[in-house]
Chains A and B, each alone.
Chain A
Amino acid sequence: MTTKPAFSVLLMPLFFAVGCNESEVMSLPGDPAKGKMAIAAYGCGSCHAIPGILGANGRTGPPLERIAERTYLAGVLPNTPEQMMRWIRIPEAIDPLTAMPNMDVSVNDARDITAYLYTLK
């Protein structure tokens, strides 16, 4: 009788640790799988290291690991899905000094790319 509660107390830390990893579902309508393909197609990986994208190991710009957790985009823009879409499409309008080029990313592609980047936590 007494061993059961004692055992569950022992397991408690494990329980909490697992609870933290539960992934939250992104409300953005974009498709992460399509975004992944779009990232490859636009060649983002030639400048950025991007987890999950084959050959994306560029060192011109910052690595995009955990980009969903980043407080600021490009060091200037509060990180929200809408802002990220804007940044991907027209970076020079947000920071005229940026080295990131305008890649003529379509709205749909930007939405999918953002959806993928928001899976990087």
Chain B
Amino acid sequence: MNDRVPKRLVARARHRLVVRLTIIGVAVAIAMVAGAATFVFWGAYNVSALQQHTEPVYTLLNTALNRSIRQRAEDIEVPPLDDPAMAEQGLRYYREKCVQCHGAPGISRDDVGKGMTPVPSNLAHTARSRSPAEIFWTIKHGIKMTGMPSWQFIFTDAEIWEIVAFLMQMPRLSPADYQAWVAEVKKASTSATPPVSTPDPERGRLAMYGYACIACHRIPGLVGPQVDVGPPLEGIGERRYIAGVLTNNFDNMVHWLQHPTEVDPLTAMPDLGVTEQDAMNIAAYLSLLD
């Protein structure tokens, strides 16, 4: 029987099937694009900090985060961390900058660290589950979209290792141990500033992320909210005045970046605690914008 079905009919049926499948495929693709567009533009996604991800999404994001950190921490050389003086200095920094979000043994986090998604980690747990290199990388670079900032423009590498040295002790500290240690250490001593080296524009570009410059300025070469709180910095290398008050040259720019309110007490640009090296690097980058 089958042999008697004309080949022409078989070919036509096959052709029709291919056409139908193609139409279905295209329709599905269009529906997916339309669905994604609707999801984005209609505001269907709830960005509330209390609206936790679904379990599968949470697991997926967490896996991506863990792998990303592990990958990047691989080549970091870990210095000896067992010097108690090192951990003690780390504790000072920890109390200044970390306890607010992460808490400490027996110490609650401040309000900023409570309603966040993802929730800032308990670092006694982190110290047990991550390597010193991974913790170092995380403090130095921060984690996008988590609230964890990059600290590399606040702390030197040596200071970050001191924080790591302290964190590695944390799982062994009872709340009472922690309190006793805190009572021992005095107010953080100022650390020696590293010698200034040649201005590095690329490092300056990164520093403008690190000091949150993009929160107020549009800066060519940097991705950001693109707002006009202050003036756009396009062409700043060629501009004659800085902030309309200071002749634009390298030294003046470094001074302005470090101490804007000293230059003009009326300015809305705040003193951001920019180090001399970072200011030189930023000035080097800005001087290239023509």
Interface residues of A (CB under 8 A from B): 6, 9-10, 12-13, 16, 49, 59-63, 65-66, 69-72, 74-76, 94-95, 97-100
Contact = CB atoms under 8 A, between A and B. Distances in A.
Contact of B244 (A62, A65, A70): A62
Given A9-B34, A12-B42, A70-B229, A99 B241 contact: yes
Nearest to B247: A99
Give chain B's interface residue range (CB within 8 Å of chain A).
20 to 34
The secondary-structure label for the interface of chain A is: loop
Given A10-B34, A12-B42, A75 B267 contact: yes
Contact of A95 (B30, B227, B231, B264): B264
Nearest to B233: A62
B231 A60 contact: no
Contacts of A62: 231-232, 239, 244
Contacts of A61: 239-241, 244
A118 B240 CA distance: 25
Contacts of A95: 244-245, 264, 266
Contact of A75 (B31, B38, B231, B232): B231
A60 B264 contact: no
Given A75-B267, A75-B268, A100 B244 contact: yes
B228 A13 contact: no
B234 A63 contact: yes
A13 B268 contact: no
19 contacts: A9-B38, A10-B30, A10-B37, A13-B37, A13-B41, A16-B41, A61-B240, A61-B244, A62-B244, A63-B235, A70-B231, A71-B230, A71-B268, A75-B230, A75-B264, A95-B245, A97-B263, A98-B244, A100-B244
B245 A98 contact: yes
B154 interface: no
A62 B236 CA distance: 8
A61 B34 CA distance: 46
Contacts of B240: 59-61, 99
A62 B218 CA distance: 12
Contacts of A6: 31, 34
Q: Across chains A and B, which 7 residue pairs bring their CB atoms closest together, nearest first?
A: A62-B231, A71-B229, A60-B240, A76-B266, A97-B245, A13-B41, A70-B228
A10 B34 CA distance: 5
Contacts of B238: 59
Contacts of A13: 37-38, 40-41
Contacts of B148: none
A74 B244 contact: yes
Contacts of B266: 76, 94-95, 97
B86 interface: no
